[in-house]
Amino acid sequence: MEDMGMSANFWTGKRVLLTGHTGFKGGWLSLWLQYLGVELSGLALAPQGSPNLFELAEVGRGMHSYIGDIRDLEFVKSVVSDVRPEIVIHMAAQPLVRYSYLNPIETYSTNIMGTVYLLEALRKQTSVKAILNITSDKCYENKEWVWSYREDEQLGGYDPYSSSKACAELVTASFRRSFFEEQGVGLASARAGNVIGGGDWAQDRLIPDILKAFEASVSVNIRNPNAIRPWQHVLEPLGGYLTLVESLWNDQKQFAQGWNFGPKEDDAKSVSCVVESMAELWGGGASWNPVQGDQPHEAYCLKLDTNKARSALNWVSHWNLTIALDKTISWHKAWRSSENLHQFSLDQIKEYTTKLKS
């Protein structure tokens, strides 16, 4: 893992607190951190829905799991006091755009005040040395242009989810300047593209909707076939987060800022391109059709500029979109075949880390 700035023994024995560990990205990162040998604790709501990655891949068996609400300040303080983390990665969030239209208060309270409560608890915890807040590529004020967004672009957001993530970025910057800089604690934020991979059953997400339809042998309905997104396998940004945390640990001043982790330019594809590729990989006459009628606003074009991460962190994308889709479908078919998903997931992580070393 040396080529991305990740050393083989850095993580061993580190006390790490991961919020949102019962979710899709959090579940994958939990497995990776366990693989790296950390002393891992997680803070999150109970796993949502059934099936879910956390239970199927037995994510919780190699970590301490605290189940509760990030919006409960006293609960957050008690977990932080109990764990005494050296590294904190904050992923707990309401992550869905369309859900945010129906539940704006929940979205804002979770994504903004949940972040405030965690940082408030951490600023009084002397064990902490590095904190990473995971926000979103949607934190940028989307101009619907063809250029990729850089880290210094204007923050904004049309829908409640996107604007809540922009607010979380502002909260992070304020806490960094007001408290953590003088304490010598590195606080950074990370913005990733649309992640895909095995074990995602979230409502109103493209890949789960496609797989559900293909499984039922029906044509999948696509809302915005021409929308362009920075698609990437979930392990891609997670590798970036791990690289950033290690750099942040070693140099709090240089790396305590916002960072983009997205795919290569060629993998910012339209929704129609993704569904057509998945139909081909799935086989069996899988098909799709566009949804007619008005839909809630979603960005048409969104791409990330990752030059800063490439130059300062030596981070690059390794699995292109074709590989990412293939790994996603193979995981899903392993689930359908009742394979050991804990081991299957670890094998994909091991395969990815082997790619990093090559």
pLDDT of residue 37: 96
- Cβ contact 58:70 at 8 Å: no
Per-residue pLDDT of the chain (358 residues; tens, 9 = 90+): 444 556 768 999 999 999 999 999 999 999 999 999 999 999 999 999 999 999 999 999 999 999 999 999 999 999 999 999 999 999 999 999 999 999 999 999 999 999 999 999 999 999 999 999 999 999 999 887 767 889 999 999 899 999 999 999 999 999 999 999 999 999 999 999 889 999 999 887 888 889 988 888 899 888 778 887 778 999 999 999 999 999 999 999 999 999 999 988 777 788 888 899 988 888 888 888 887 665 565 555 778 899 999 999 999 999 999 999 999 999 999 999 999 999 999 999 999 998 776 5
* Model pLDDT, residue 267: 77
Model pLDDT, residue 67: 98
Angle between helices 341-357 and 321-336 (to 10 degrees): 160
Give the pLDDT confidence score for residue 222 in this predicted structure.
Answer: 87
Cα 274 to Cα 224: distance, rounded to the nearest angstrom: 12
- pLDDT of 228 reads 78
Q: To 10 degrees, the CA torsion angle through 241, 27, 47, 214?
A: 110
- Token pair 């330019």 is found at 265
Q: Copy the structure tokens of residue 128.
A: 């902490």
**Measured on CA atoms in the order 131, 309, 344, 35, is the torsion positive or negative?**
negative
| Pairing state between β 87-90 and 186-192 | unpaired
pLDDT of residue 230: 77
The Cα–Cα gap between 69 and 79 comes to 11
pLDDT for residue 334:
97
Q: Give the strand pairing for 194-196 and 220-222.
A: unpaired
Predicted pLDDT at 357: 63
Q: Pick from 355, 354, 353, 332: which is nearest to 57 by CA?
A: 332
SS3 194: strand
Domains defined along the chain, listed by start: 2-357 (3.40.50.720)
Residue of 342, 190, 319, 197 lying closest to 261 (CA atoms): 190
* pLDDT at residue number 266: 78
Tell me what pLDDT residue 284 has.
81
